[in-house]
Amino acid sequence: MNSSEEIAVSTGRSAARMGPAELVQAAAMARRFYLEGKSKIQIAEEFGVSRFKVARVLETALERDLVRIEIRVPAELDAERSDALRAHFGLRHAVVVESPAEAEESPDPENLGEVAADLLGELVNEGDVLGLAWGRSTIHMAAALDRLPPCTVVQLTGVYDAGTAERGSVEAVRRAAQVSGGDAHPIYAPMLLPDAATAAALRNQTGIARAFEYFDKVTVAAVSIGSWEPGISTVYDMLSEEERARYASYGVAAEMSAHLFDRDGRRVGRDLGERCITVEADRLRRIPEVVAIAGGARKAEAIGAVLRSGLVTSLVTDTAAADQLLSGPAGPRPALDRTDPDD
């Protein structure tokens, strides 16, 4: 994901108005400055001119196309959309990946996880506590991890299906810990319980309570976003038809870690959280870096809703979702110093 700059020093026709001596001197100065990294003062001393003359020569070299600067990023990254999306929502980081042509309607293409893995490699520092929430995109990300500094890894939510724990978020936590060489704190419990009392009892169990103790220490978190429709939100899929209808009547547009949001980013249906094994919203808001991984045109509205909640600081998405997000309202900016109280 690292961008690179290529400096080309040429003597093309566009520089023809400069005499041969000027061309040779300008090319030499440009080479010293752009390719060798010398300062204008050093160049001035070498050529026996003032640093102001060096500045004018370099400026003229750019104007007359004697020097051409190209900024390149890997083909799968869209730098222009990334920067526009970051500014539109006031995010710390936004990375937009080219949507696969054959998967325009599919949410969360697997390449999002690969790019998110690279981003975590940049964001996580030695001694950090990395939190991973349940989600297909976070599972893809963990599978793609190949570098992480030594850090502790904690699971932020229960699992979608306890029977698939070894292939889901528990395995994601173990994988990340293995790559980093740090400790793993998985949660062997379902995300959604029948009632609040059962959920409270599980939170007090030793293993789960130990994981919860790390929630306030998390410095970087990776989360997924779901739309309020079947197959696009695991929480939606876990609820009964009656429960889905009730929450839909509240205007639910998005779900993240079992927290529900309307289109404006306001949290609704807060009683659901009482039945879930998940990190609380106020704790999420205090985490310095919360990276959401979500893409696809079908998820665009949901992504926008979560971004407007202010709980997310960074986003990895694709061009299909980015185009819709950029054409919609930006909404409130997240507090990047992470000092705001919960709404």
Q: Which domains does the chain have, with CATH numbers?
A: 20-64 (1.10.10), 77-337 (3.40.50.1360)
Query: What are 151's two structure tokens?
Result: 């850090």
pLDDT in tens, 45-72: 999 999 999 999 999 888 888 887 766 6
**pLDDT value at residue 35:** 86
The average pLDDT across 241-253 equals 92
Average pLDDT of the residues in 313-321: 94
Token pair, residue 106, equals 């599919």
The pLDDT of residue 317 is above 50: yes
> Judging by DSSP bridges, how do beta strands 67-72 and 4-9 pair with one another?
antiparallel
Overall average pLDDT of the 11-40 stretch: 75
Whether 340 has a pLDDT exceeding 50, the answer reads: no
User: Quick one: pLDDT at residue 110?
Assistant: 72
- Would you say 36 and 100 are in contact if contact means Cβ atoms under 8 Å apart? no
**Alpha helices, DSSP H, located in the chain:** 20-30, 40-47, 51-63, 79-89, 110-123, 136-144, 169-180, 196-203, 206-213, 234-238, 241-248, 271-274, 281-286, 300-309, 319-327
Instruction: Give the pLDDT confidence of 134-172 residue by residue, as tens digits.
Output: 888 888 899 999 999 999 999 999 987 644 444 577 899
For residue 11, what pLDDT is reported? Answer: 41
- 187 pLDDT higher than 80: yes
DSSP percent split of the chain into helix, strand, coil, nearest 5? 45, 15, 35
Looking at residue 242, its pLDDT comes to 92
What pLDDT is stored for residue 166 in this prediction? Answer: 45
Mean pLDDT within 303-320 = 95
pLDDT of 339 over the 60 cut: no
pLDDT at 18: 67
Q: Evaluate if residue 301 carries a pLDDT over 90.
A: yes
Q: What value does the mean pLDDT of the chain take?
A: 85
Question: Which among 95, 97, 100 has a CA at the least distance from the CA of 121?
Answer: 95
Please check the confidence at residue 98 and state whether its pLDDT lies above 50: yes
Residue 328's pLDDT is 84
What is the pLDDT at residue 208? 92
pLDDT at 77 over 90: no
DSSP 299: G
Average pLDDT over residues 19-31: 82
